[in-house]
Structure 1
Amino acid sequence: MKLNTKTMKFRFILFFLLAGICLQTEAQRSDKNTAPAMTDGVVYSLPRTGIRIHVTATREKLFAGPYAQFAEAMLGLKNAPMADREQWTITGVEVETFSEPDPDCVYKAKGWAGALVSLTPEGVIAGINAQSESTAMAAPVTTFLEDQPVPDFPFKDLSMNPFFEKPDSTSRNVLVAKTLQEKAQEAAHTVTKLRKRRFKTLANGYDEQLPDGKAYNVMVEELGKLEDEYVSLFIGKSYTGTYHYTFDFIPDNNSASGEVVFRFSDTKGVLPKTDLSGKPMQIELKKLDGLAASQSKLKSTAASSSEVYYRTPGKAELRLMNGVSLMAFTRLDIAQYGTVLSVPEELLDGTHHILFHPETGAIKSISTK
């Protein structure tokens, strides 16, 4: 069957239209697996290192006994404290690092590289063409814990005897308070009786057989507690508590010397650096230039259009000083003491997977899988 000229022209036109549609559809399919080129770019930061100092302090609060002045005369206890006092001691210092976005190292990745960059929740570069693990950075914290409760007057039982003389006709039935010395004598007498009672219990010196086992142990223990309670009326009571404090310090790009982190007082404990009643605890951070100098020598001077940067951290020595006394010493990796470098453009072709350390911004791994 012969086709006329109009029919053949119509079929040719229809063929070319269908071919164009197929080619366009195939191009769209292939573009799904290709990262779009970013014209404006993706903003990201490099991390900087902060120093977190954990301080442990012990507080001892001593209450002088109400009968302290009679301790040696009535019980033979020497050097009994005559006044209340409070003593603080630093018992531990720990140093660790944390990271946060560096406001001085904010960049924009453009072109194909911008579509390949992955970031942490804080906006720090974490990977290129790779699914990075999300690691949340610790927020800077400076904490002053409230003091543990200490009673205003811890002596609940001052005597087993009344505080007033028994009224009689000579005093016209008026209550007469006993003197402090008389109450101290009664308390000392009670201590003596408790010691005798405990001795007889331990020596089984009673005519009637005492219970044994658990009841016997409880009796001896309670007698000891009563004796300690009454002896404390002469020698006083002390309360000891341990407290934990955290301070953060963010170094700049240079060494630091004489920076006050917190203050400390033997009678007030750990204080903020703004409280001038305490002695300053200072930080000395010495930048070790050897590693950074070697990194800078290898830094390329050629301009790069990728605009994707990473960081190699530097080294530093940290000293925490209490005046001229050394409290803590350690060596640390400090990101801002290192060198900022650009990722080679040949690694940004979409076939390489790069992961970064979110803590320092250094390259963690490069692979093609």
Structure 2
Amino acid sequence: MRKLFFMLISMALCGTTNAQTQLTEYQPGVTPEGAVYFLPKTAIRINLLVEKTTYKPGDFSAYAQRYMRLNNVSQEANTQYRIINIKLMPVGVADSTKAYALKFNPKTVAANVALAEDGRLLAINADPKAEQPTMPFVPQKKKKRMEPRQLMNQDILSAGSTAKMAELTAREIYDIRENRNLLIKGQADFMPKDGAQLQLMLNQLNEQDAALTSMFKGTYDCDTTEHTLTICPDGPFNRQLLFRLSQVNGLVDADDLSGAPFYVTVEDLNTVPPVDEEAAAKTKKKAFEAGVYVNVPGRMRISLFQGINNILTTEQPAAQFGNVELLSGELFNKRYTTHLWLNPITGAVDRLDCEQPTK
């Protein structure tokens, strides 16, 4: 009897397991029967241009003040980082909390649905506007420096000490500068025939001057790199840590206190009235009503701070600070040909054209 009881219980459990409903999340896409799409929410892409400056002391840096009257010339190599540009750009990302199904009705013509790769609705019965691609930062090519030792004459290279080499190099620099001044004044022994030749000679003398002077002043190499950060606020927040920048190590981890903190604040400007709860309840009851859901975006203010100093403030439309509205399915009745374009960043209606059939 006990065995029979356990067999009945097991059969009942198996039957219950098989009867359970399998739930799956909406997957965006277009089929012959309809389409599942997302509305976007607005993220902010932050592009930082960080410049790295590497200083290398010259071979004669210890004699810079004595022979060239150059003060505060460091004799130690160092590296420094600084931000030279910050750009904020709004971008659209799929909002998984705003997934909707559009069933094609034979009485309508809303069958040509264009979706982005992540499932955002872009257009209906129209070709979507091409999203502007982000152009990556391309650093300029570095100009090749003239090698200073190739400009040293035999007397400099055969000098018995570094101090003597520095003294003779300084004399060579002063000779170059004197010849340049004579050219500018038109008093040189061999004057060029025209202005182009004069400019060429002056450029060569300037390069020689800079190359030999770098033996005293040292050299600075600058490299600029682009870093991209993305924030996608679901609501307002105040002074959230965005990143840290160290003058010695560049961008560092958020918990690395060697870097100066940069914060971001997002404010809801409340440009869209709050949702009426009763109207929202009615909308939920009409979840399967024929139509297209679109965003009515609000606006947000983004502020960047370096420590306590505000360095950048901008305002942008934001889908998540607005509401969702339903465009009636009557717009897509067969009596009309309706073309709909949505903003890929906010999900708002960019354009709506309705063509009546010609008789």
TM-score (norm 2): 0.71
In structure 2, the CA distance between the partners of 1:77 and 1:232, relative to structure 1 (3 Å rule), is same
Say which SS state the counterpart of residue 84 (structure 2) adopts.
strand
Which of 36, 40, 44 is 1:51 aligned to? 44
Query: What is the aligned counterpart of 1:225 among 207, 213, 217?
Result: 207
Q: Which residue of 2 aligns with 1:255?
A: 236
Structure 1 residue 338 corresponds to structure 2 residue 322: yes
Kindly name which structure, 1 or 2, has the bigger radius of gyration based on alpha carbons. 1
Which of 319, 331, 342 pairs up with 1:357? 342
1:279-323 residue CA offsets vs partner (Å, 9 max, x unmatched): 332221112335141677865725323254222112211111212
- Paired with 2:157 and 2:149, the residues of 1 have a C-alpha distance of 18
**Could you tell me which of 91, 111, 114 is aligned with 1:119?**
114
In 2, Cα distance between the equivalents of 1:301 and 1:244? Answer: 49
Partner of 2:26: none
Question: CA separation of 1:282/1:162 partners in 2, compared to 1, >3 Å: closer, same or farther?
Answer: same
8 Å CA contact 1:51–1:249 kept in 2: the answer is yes
Q: Does 1:75 align with 2:68?
A: yes
- Give me the identity figure in percent: 21
Partners of 1:258 and 1:217 in 2: CA distance: 54
Cα displacement string for residues 145-184 of structure 1 (whole angstroms, at most 9, x for unaligned residues) = 899879999755484236776xxxxxxxxxxx83221221
Q: Could you tell me which residue of structure 2 aligns to residue 27 of structure 1? A: none
8 Å Cα contact 1:65/1:233 also seen in 2: yes
- 1:279 aligns with one of 250, 257, 260: 260
Q: Secondary structure at the match of 1:189?
A: helix
* CA gap 1:287/1:162 in 2 versus in 1, 3 angstroms: same
Q: 1:99 to 1:195 in 2, by over 3 A?
A: closer
Using a 3 Å threshold, how does the CA distance of structure 1 residues 295 and 287 change in structure 2: closer, same or farther? farther
Provide the C-alpha distance between the structure 2 equivalents of 1:133 and 1:224, rounded to a whole number of angstroms: 57
For 1:283-302, list aligned pairs within 5 A: 283-293=264-274, 301=282
Corresponding residue for 1:110? 103
Q: 8 Å contact 2:116–2:122 — kept in the other structure?
A: no
TM-superposed deviation, 1:326:
1.2
Q: Secondary structure at the match of 1:97?
A: strand
Q: Aligned equivalents of 2:257 and 2:315: distance in 1?
A: 30
Please tell me the root mean square deviation across aligned C-alpha atoms, in Å: 3.9
Of 66-75 and 235-244, more deviation after overlay is shown by 235-244
Unaligned runs of 5+ in 1: 1-37, 166-176
CA apart distance, 1:221? 3.7
Matching residue within 282, 290, 314 for 2:298: 314
In the alignment, which residue of structure 2 is the partner of 1:179?
Answer: 161
Q: Is the 8 A contact 1:292 1:314 kept in 2?
A: no
Counterpart pick for 1:324 among 308, 313, 318: 308
Quick one: structure 1 residues 81 and 358, their matched pair in 2 at CA, closer, same or farther if it must change by over 3 Å?
same
Paired residues, number: 316
From the superposition, tell whether residues 77 and 297 of structure 1 become closer, same or farther in structure 2 (CA, over 3 Å). Answer: farther
Matched AA of 1:286:
E
Cα distance change, pair 119–198 in 1 and its aligned pair in 2 (3 A): closer
Superposition pairs of residues 161-180 of structure 1, within 5 angstroms: 161=154, 178-180=160-162
1:184-263 to structure 2, matched below 5 A, reads: 184-202=166-184, 210-213=191-194, 214-252=196-234, 254-263=235-244
Cα distance 1:297–1:69, how it changes in 2: closer, same or farther (>3 A)?
farther
Which letter does structure 1 place at the counterpart of 2:59? P
CA distance in 2, matches of 1:328, 1:297: 40
* 1:264 partner amino acid: L
In the alignment, which residue of structure 1 is the partner of 2:86?
93
Deviations 1:70-112 (Å, cap 9, x if unpaired)?
1222222222233223333322222121112221211222362
- How many angstroms apart in 2 are the aligned matches of 1:332 and 1:346? 32
Deviates more, 1:324-333 or 1:303-312: 303-312
- Aligned AA for 2:232? I
- SS of 2:105's partner is helix
What CA distance in whole angstroms lies between the structure 1 residues aligned with 2:88 and 2:278? 31
Give the CA deviation at 1:249: 1.7
Q: Distance in 2 between matches of 1:221 and 1:147?
A: 21
Residues 128, 341 of structure 2: 8 Å contact kept:
no
1:64 Cα shift? 2.0
- Inter-partner Cα distance in structure 1 for 2:239 and 2:166: 54
Q: How far apart, in 2, do the equivalents of 1:150 and 1:221 lie?
A: 14
State the distance in 2 between where 1:366 and 1:54 align.
36
Q: Which runs of 5+ in 2 are unaligned?
A: 1-30
Contact 1:49 1:250 in 2 (8 A): yes
The range that moved more, 84-93 or 209-218, is 209-218
In the TM superposition, what is the alpha-carbon distance from 1:239 to its structure 2 partner? 3.0
Residues 222 and 153 (structure 1 numbering): CA distance in 2 closer, same or farther, change over 3 Å?
Answer: closer
